Structure 1
Amino acid sequence: MEFVASIIDTVFRPLKDYFARTVGYVMSCGDYIDLMVHEMSELKSKRDDVGKDYNLDDIQRIIGDRLGVSWENRTPKERAGVLYRVLSKMNFVLLLDDVWEPLNFRMLGIPVPKHNSKSKIVLTTRIEDVCDRMDVRRKLKMECLPWEPAWELFREKVGDHLMSASPEIRHQAQALATKCGGLPLALITVGRAMASKRTAKEWKHAITVLKIAPWQLLGMELDVLEPLKKSYDNLPSDKLRLCLLYCSLFPEEFSISKDWIIGYCIGEGFIDDLYTEMDEIYNKGHDLLGDLKIASLLEKGEDEDHIKMHPMVRAMALWIASDFGTKETKWLVRAGVGLKEAPGAEKWSDAERISFMRNNILELYEKPECPLLKTLMLQGNPGLDKICDGFFQFMPSLRVLDLSHTSISELPSGISSLVQLQYLDLYNTNIRSLPRELGSLATLRFLLLSHMPLEMIPGGVICSLTMLQVLYMDLSYGDWKVGASGNGVEFQELENLRRLKALDITIQSPEALERLSRSYRLAGSTRNILIKNCSSMTKIELPTSNLWKNMTNLKRVWIASCSNLAEVIIDGSKETVGSNALPRAILQARAELVDEEQPILPTLHDIILQGLYKVKIIYKGGCVQNLSSLFIWYCHGLEELITVSEEQDAAATGGEQALGAFRVIKPFPNLRELYLHGLAKFRRLSSNTCTLHLPSLESLKIVECPNLKKLNLSAGGLNVIQCSREWWDGLEWDDAEVRASYEDLFRPLR
């Protein structure tokens, strides 16, 4: 009760604020009012939740009953007038618990307390937007408990014997308390359920139950899952509910990529296709996830691009997905629990969704019959290298299949049986050859083939996938045949994908790069491009070369192992036709008209230069406006980050340079991250004739650059320099004051 008293103090402290006339509590992770009611029986008879189903009449009736006002034969407007007159003559505290929609105080007859009034209106909600739309003066977000008070509450409910238990039991108790995620009702319920448990095996079993079937733990359904379910029930659409349940397929406390979950939901059909552009479809997905965050059912993950589920919200979702615990294998979720082999095929038969991701499964040797299965998640089993032939033969309803981050070297025969498959992820597998029967997947919309040693695709497979909207093939197959160049799949097969909206591609010849740039639809769909092994390419220009004119959605350019590439030219000051140094015959053949007003590479955020032994980065003027990260790896001949062109030097002669002043250049005004690795000859960040200004730079990482002795750059926003201690100690500084100003930025390499 001491702990509950502190919670009550936290809840009611804002009410003592003289200026806070309306106070809103946003219950981001559980209901503290529920906790108080749970512990203080005298509150139960005085409490009515507002809830989503309450209307104006209900709320007026409840308030009238508390005030002893009779409502017979009165209209809502008359009742509002009576309430207003009564409440205006008294000091009152009105608690509106569990508010889901904004309430109109004027229509209810509730006078909003004035500046000099002692009255208060207090509301609790799980939706922060409700407070904003009701003009709440003081808003307090009630977060989950940090570890120390959470552990204290849990120990109190388990009992004093926990302190004298064995170290093993105390360790298990801490693990169990952690799984409650700081949610007070869960800590109380689980703690009480474990009060009579005295052996380590009982505690271990409780941890397993909480992972797999949390509703089986004593008191969980009634005291934890049912209260949480109110948030689920009050979601405005089935799409939102399904999207939330889908997030429970991921491991506990897993930071889920928003784009990842949205792609799955598109494949499952949760996100409708009212929109034609893939960006619009993804924006709809982000909007759904945002609604779930507003409802306090999802949390921010490792960054803004990721989300997480609170452990108890996930437990609630799994309970609902299993038809409230009556069909435990309907959603067969064993994600991140350390499985060494998959459950037997007989357990798959009734499953609609299965997740065995992030385990240690080595082989799938049975052929399960799963007529209802829609999603199968096997990703993140690094030792999985064998799936038996015919494995997919009896999964006619499967729509989403994720085999990424496994060691499989081939797809099993029978993959063509997946007649409804929409989403196939083979990212980071060991597959070198795609089977011809893959072309039979006529409904496939997402095909993810990036980061794999893919060498052979049978002719006709790609162009057979006529419904394909997303194709990712960066750091993967790149031997596209264009005229006499290339030996693999005809580039025309890509151009035949009329529905394609998002493309990541590997290019291994200047001819293929030119063909891509001239294909309006393909170029406009390209998000990430890897240009590698183009030995005939001698220079390339960013951002204004006509090569990039149609790539209006390009996010990343990665150039690797182009042995004769000598110049990457930064020239954002003017239109430059033909300066990408593709072979002369290609440039002469180019006849496509371009829109002079169209911005060039407006979405380009990342540039990676890797293994370019002759390259220099030449600055001619202007900038790459929205570039946020620049990685340069193993470019052994690079001596300085930016080399000012001869034209720029000549233009400066007689100007600032004649006056002895250093010119400041700003080629990357929005660059936040710079990573230099393995640059054997690298000596300086910019030439001796200028100072490099990176106004937005936040992170600088330098590894294996032994000849770089000075940090001659201007970066006022820099907050981290990651490097080895040995290299840092060997840096040369203009004076001790400059060194001292940088010292706090140093972070040793991990």
Structure 2
Amino acid sequence: MALTKLRFVNQFSQWLCVRKGYIHSLPENLAALQKAIEVLKTKHDDVKRRVDKEEFLGRRHRLSQVQVEIERLCFCGFCSKSFGKSYHYGKMVSVMLKEVENLSSRGVFDVVTEENLVAQVEEMPIQSTVVGQETMLERVWNTLMKDGFKIMGLYGMGGVGKTTLLTQINKKFSETDGGFDIVMWVVVSKTSEIYRIQEDIAKRLGLTGEEWDKKNENKRAVDIHNVLRRHKFVLLLDDIWEKVNLELVGVPYPSRENGSIVAFTTRSRDVCGRMGVDDPMQVSCLEPEDAWDLFQNKVGENTLKSHPDIPELAKQVAEKCRGLPLALNVIGETMACKSTVQEWRHAIDEEWKKTEVKMHDVVREMALWISSDLGKHKDQCIVRAGVGLHAVPEVKNWRAVRRMSLMKNELEKILGCPTCPQLTTLLLQKNHKLVNISGEFFRFMPNLVVLDLSWNSSLTGLPKKISEVETTNTSEFGVHEEFGEYAGVSKLLSLKTLRLQKSKKALDVNSAKELQLLEHIEVLTIDIFSKVEEESFKILTFPSMCNIRRIGIWKCGMKEIKVEMRTSSCFSSLSKVVIGQCDGLKELTWLLFAPNLTYLDARFAEQLEDIISEEKAASVTDENASIIIPFQKLECLSLSDLPKLKSIYWSPLSFPRLSELAVQEHCPKLKKLPLNSKSGTAGVELVVKYGENKWLEGVEWEDKATELRFLATCKSLYR
């Protein structure tokens, strides 16, 4: 009995010592626990920043539980002094300390198998200063930072400086700590392919690799979303032309919860609306003072000081750029080496009549520089279009010239006999005062490939000696109003393109016979009218016409274009057809025999009722032959001002290549389109475009599935 009591006393003493140890060591253990948990939290935060693909669930989840329990154990640095409570707390602290130490020792934090995010901002080449856009830059930046999350659209015409502005925004993110984990830059452009956008984002997130390459768009979107949903990000999309579906890309929509930003540039305010931006910011041309500062910067101080009159002349040239940064940059750099008053006055005298023309000039200046091997071969290409020339300009070395454009000038006569053995392209169109071209002018141009004399309304005949250029390879030859004498054309045996539209002299039988001698003709645009219309059209069925790729038929008075089955092969190469002001035609069933047709434009035909007539098709096809399915290669169909048009085709067609079906204006009776839910599903997205809301509302779709498919993607031509 005494032994039993002694054993009990010893066991109780050991039990009491253990409990006393918990209480005695409580302050020390609690301090150690707090220190250990801080170390573990630091490691936890580091891992959280580094993990990109999946949640680090195991230890992170247990750590969260440990944190909650510690907060319950110790609050405000005070623990209970009650023996019972202190013992309970002391034991839990001791156990928790061991678990934290074990958790920390088991965690492999040095190497994380998941991909790591790359640098926060990808630095891009950029000008140190943005002349004239400082205020706009500050306004955009303040707007972005105001709410902490945003989707912003910047819109404006081409060349106004949208990309430059967005690049500056990218730079400011690298200079300012906005708490963002990553800033991504993607150039979208016209072809806004989801796959390519995902690829650019994946490179910034470090997701690329063999596994990534095997995934489809949906799986890629999931991967991108899994990474970005846990990060505060900035996505900069440059030059978008249509809505970019962020969901399909995998980008979480900016919200107050994620604090992220999406900003983009576009030329269209409408695109901003489609992206969900109701208050986009317009990027406008520079104010006069800012434009002058930028122009001076590009021209350079030395040039401006080279003559007392140049600064004032330079201001006049700068004014012509109308504040467009791209024009100011390009023209300023072009004038940087012009140190004479004459050169500056010439720049002022150039005809810049429209903003669009100015933009074209800017682009042309850069294109010429690039095409001449960055200016090394500038003598090979001479472009003096729309500069008011009254005579052919002097050329130092005609032998070196390969391409020349003198279009849209005031030329009245073209004389001389230049030796141009390398000249392949000569553009002389739209010189409305031109009445005479010397035959000698073309005599030494043996390699001429492109010759354009169209829209020269005062030119009444071909140069008599043009046919003496026996070795010519002329491939483009156009004539226009009152250019009615076709005699001699047939001697241009290599002629490939002949444009005769709007010629006031009707195409008669004799002219047709002359033209049929052109064995290599590929492009022919003609007006067919007068009393011999039907015989005139027979030119198209001549054997020599089998290679024709483009036809334009204007002012045709015929009620019917007759095509026999035996002559149907004549249109096997035809790819483009434009028909206008043909008020007598009721149908275009002959297009059944154009299997390679890619483009069809029909307009201003008051009596046209059917594109392909079911009744006419049955009469011109062989009963024993297989049914001809039209428009298998058609890519674009445009219809306008056809008041009686009722049908394109009597039943739905597959349209495997059609990307655009445009009904522009004044086609009130066209209620049914030859479409069903399977039309245009061969890979090319088919979009119906319309010019009038009233017409779209009256369309009778094949079925509900067809309506749902096409109505959602219909686009207005004027928005």
TM-score by length of 2: 0.48
Q: In terms of Rg, which structure is larger?
A: 2
Greater strand share, 1 or 2?
Answer: 1
Greater helix share, 1 or 2?
Answer: 2
